[in-house]
Structure 1
Amino acid sequence: MEVVSVKQAELLSHKLIYSRTFQFFSGFFFVVLLPSLLMWKVEGVVSPDMIKLNSQAGVACAFSLSLVSLHKLMGFPEARKALYILPTVLAWYGGLVFFFFAFRFGYSVYYIFYSFLAALLFFYFTYFTVVRHVFYHIAYLPLGRAEPHPELPGVRWIKLEHAEPLTTHVDAIMTDLHASIPEHWQRFLAACTLQRIPVFHYKRLMESLTGRVKIEYVSENEFGSLQPSVVYCFIKRAADIVLALCLLPVLVPVFVVLTVLIRCDSKGPALFVQKRVGYGGRLFNMYKFRSMHVNGGGKCFTESSQDPRITKVGKVLRKYRLDELPQVLNVLKGEMSFIGPRPESCELSEWYEQDVPFFSYRHIVRPGISGWAQVKQGYAAELDGMKKKLEYDFFYIKNFSLWLDILIVYKTIRILFTGFGAR
């Protein structure tokens, strides 16, 4: 009989606890079955009536979708946050109740409510006891440009000294696949792949860990990976139109109040209109509430930071991004999206294109009111900050998806309450 070593047992337990399968079945019991047993006993689970069956099936779907959504969201760089749990679970359970109500299916309100509380308890318990303490164990083959980055949070680096079977848990292996790799290391990497240990090129792995695409390493043969999904572009545009139409009746009274406050605080128009480079490289007029004093020539300054030309009302508008609200009109006109890279001025775009030949590729998606760069670093003014912003923008284009957009929405809502990255 084969004896399992202590290290092998630790490796197996690590894979079990952190596996999605284990989390699904343990959560399914706690969130779906346990409330059923407590409310309806065994009979309600074994031979349920239509109301109980609808409720159990609906709760199972809501829990499963919540689990998948949280795994997707927390898979992005520095996105393992407990604050995403409540809105995600609330959205799916709220959608479930709306579905039952709209199609007039019978359901148990109490059962869904108890399951909702159980789901929150399960996800928060899992996060604070497991997810929060998980470190990515990344082994690296020190060849070429593959080097560890100790400054990255949540990552433990393991240097591979010998091409021998791994005795510790490893989530991934990083190496420079463009370097000259000796044959014994090639056999080792092939064996790891067969053991379902992913082997990543160092550049791709660093992108997933930092949320940035190093622009100095982007080459023409990578443009295919930067091509956004045509289907999702269409879906996103339709969602932008629907959301803009729903928001306008709510925002019109806000526009009126802010217009009065701006005009009373300083002389000049309430709106500031500026030419920006948008979708497909086309110019458009971007609307903002004016947050700075107007000079004698009627021109509005646009420099950021602690500028004395910023009005009292303007400081509040900038801190909570209220000056961006009129851009809902740009969204409705098809010039912008709610989520996307921030549109740049003509001067800055021309300056970038001189240093980055493929900068115009940034315009392959519609610019947004909020974007990945804004929620990660705020508004950048200095040269180094602008280069990092561009790296974030290319990461967004390369990972253009519903899940990344949802994550940006969550982070944007947090910014509205904290004022992070205010200009």
Structure 2
Amino acid sequence: MKSLRARRFKRFYEQIFLSRLFALLSGWLFSVALPALLYWGPSVLHNVNSGQRTALLATSIAFVLSHFSTKYILVNYPGGQSQGLIFTQVLMCYGTLIIGTLLLRTEVSRALLVASGVAALLWVHIEYITTRAYFRPKFAIIPGGFADEVLALPDCDARLLACLDLQGVRYDGIVADFERIDRDAERFLTTCALTNVPVYNAKSVYETLSGRVKIDKMSENNIGSLLPSTAYELTKSLIDWTIVVITLPIVLPLSVLTACLIRLESPGPAIYKQDRVGRGNRVFTIYKFRSMRFDRNATEQFAGQDDPRVTRVGRIIRKLRIDEVPQFFNVLKGEMSLIGPRPEQPSFVQEFDKKIPFYSYRHVVKPGITGWAQVRHGYAAGSDETRVKIEHDFYYIKNCSLSLDFFIIFLTFRTMLTGFGAR
């Protein structure tokens, strides 16, 4: 299940005002037509020259891309309903357009592009704030089993059914644990489906809204679905290599500067090496910029968010994720990917494998420099929090795709700006 769309609005005026076409047209008038009218004046309504036509086309393309990309993220991914991500999407679309016109030396008003971008940013936020309540899923929950887990989720309006009757209330769907319902509930769900009210399995709804796969409720079918396709893995590896090679002119000077600052602040090597467990439970050597005081005899332990061993330079490079840059070498060696579950130390893997069921199944894919668990959950300091991170890892493995990888990249930029999850 990729998304849970609002389906309860079936009246004529609701179908119009909440439709994508209405949102697209009204947004275009506000973000493209209005800035052009204010910039060129009313005369543009009667006589449009080639330069103005090019500018209108460019701003229209940027707005349409911003509209559809933000809608895609808002609907399809847990955590996508974030104003920070909306800002990033609009900025990326208009920024790419402005850079493209500069490189191609296209005759178009940069001032109009910027004005349209600001208007689009304002409009998308207004649309998000005013329509958020309408597109928030509203579910009727049949109690029992996994359905009770859905009631605790913050991203939906889940209401417990006291009896098998909707009582005239409009819902986007009925949620039940299909393995725990009786025959009366089965008949009720059938009646709902026949009246065009969607019926959902509680486990699928939980995974879609939380971005987690419950590891203590997995079956053989779940395990079989946690296998990414060969085509996806080959494409992802090619993209990893391409990104690493293209960014080398920036990464190499940054690495030299970082290494010098580390050596100047504290004695010891600038690059820190450690054994980690990767794909197929194979142990490999990971490379990081050293962010702590050097101690050759230190025992393995979790690095806390406020760990006193962290140096001043280390605190900065951790927040900005610069300490992970040497892992580009691991990517080139084929040991890691840019996106994937974070690799752990062998001793931790042995410990967690005893406490957490299916823990080692996270090693069916290459570990990553950043990942779904890092951007969704952040720092984990023990078995309980690690269990939650593993549930996020399993969600990524089960739903891995290039679009999800790009979404994780957006969330990683947010992490770099806020420091959430930095360790």
Change (3 A) 1:296 1:50: closer
Change (3 A) 1:259 1:205: same
Match of residue 79 from structure 1: 80
SS at match of 2:246: helix
CA distance, structure 1, for counterparts of residue 279 and residue 47 of structure 2 = 56
TM-score by length of 2: 0.84
1:85 positional shift? 2.1
CA distance, structure 2, for counterparts of residue 21 and residue 41 of structure 1 = 27
TM-score by length of 1: 0.84
Change (3 A) 1:69 1:166: farther
1:270 positional shift? 1.4
Moved more, 158-167 or 269-278: 158-167
Change (3 A) 1:182 1:92: same
1:148 positional shift? 5.8
The answer (yes or no) to whether the contact 1:73–1:403 under 8 Å persists in 2 is: no
CA distance, structure 2, for counterparts of residue 271 and residue 318 of structure 1 = 14
Q: Which runs of 5+ in 2 are unaligned?
A: 1-7
The answer (yes or no) to whether the contact 1:11–1:169 under 8 Å persists in 2 is: no
Alignment of 1:88-167 (within 5 A): 88-99=89-100, 107=108, 109=110, 111-131=112-132, 135-147=136-148, 149=150, 151-164=152-165, 167=168
The answer (yes or no) to whether the contact 1:148–1:157 under 8 Å persists in 2 is: no
Alignment of 1:21-36 (within 5 A): 21-35=21-35
The answer (yes or no) to whether the contact 1:55–1:112 under 8 Å persists in 2 is: yes
SS at match of 1:274: strand
Alignment of 1:192-207 (within 5 A): 192-194=192-194, 196-207=196-207
Moved more, 163-172 or 65-74: 163-172
Change (3 A) 1:113 1:289: closer
Residue by residue over 1:10-49, the C-alpha shift from the partner in whole angstroms, topping out at 9 and shown as x without a partner, is 9665565444343223223333444556667899679966
CA distance, structure 2, for counterparts of residue 31 and residue 300 of structure 1 = 57
Residue by residue over 1:265-315, the C-alpha shift from the partner in whole angstroms, topping out at 9 and shown as x without a partner, is 333211111121223433321101122333365x67553124444444334
Moved more, 32-41 or 239-248: 32-41
Match of residue 178 from structure 1: 179
Change (3 A) 1:268 1:105: closer
1:396 positional shift? 1.3
Residue by residue over 1:322-346, the C-alpha shift from the partner in whole angstroms, topping out at 9 and shown as x without a partner, is 3222112222332222221101222
The one-letter code matched in structure 2 to 1:303 is F
CA distance, structure 1, for counterparts of residue 11 and residue 201 of structure 2 = 24
SS at match of 1:130: helix
Moved more, 124-133 or 342-351: 124-133
Residue by residue over 1:240-285, the C-alpha shift from the partner in whole angstroms, topping out at 9 and shown as x without a partner, is 2222123222222332232223223333211111121223433321
SS at match of 2:272: strand
The answer (yes or no) to whether the contact 2:31–2:119 under 8 Å persists in 1 is: yes
Change (3 A) 1:188 1:325: same
Q: Does 1:211 align with 2:231?
A: no
The one-letter code matched in structure 2 to 1:394 is F
Match of residue 359 from structure 1: 359
CA distance, structure 2, for counterparts of residue 317 and residue 302 of structure 1 = 20
Residue by residue over 1:132-157, the C-alpha shift from the partner in whole angstroms, topping out at 9 and shown as x without a partner, is 78543111112444226554324322
Query: What's the Cα RMSD here?
Result: 3.3
CA distance, structure 2, for counterparts of residue 233 and residue 53 of structure 1 = 43
Alignment of 1:229-244 (within 5 A): 229-244=229-244
The answer (yes or no) to whether the contact 1:136–1:155 under 8 Å persists in 2 is: yes
Q: Does 1:271 align with 2:297?
A: no
1:398 positional shift? 1.8
CA distance, structure 1, for counterparts of residue 400 and residue 258 of structure 2 = 34
% identical aligned pairs? 39
Q: Which runs of 5+ in 1 are unaligned?
A: 1-7
Q: Does 1:330 align with 2:330?
A: yes
The one-letter code matched in structure 1 to 2:183 is P
Residue by residue over 1:211-246, the C-alpha shift from the partner in whole angstroms, topping out at 9 and shown as x without a partner, is 211101111112343232444433332322222123
Q: Does 1:226 align with 2:226?
A: yes
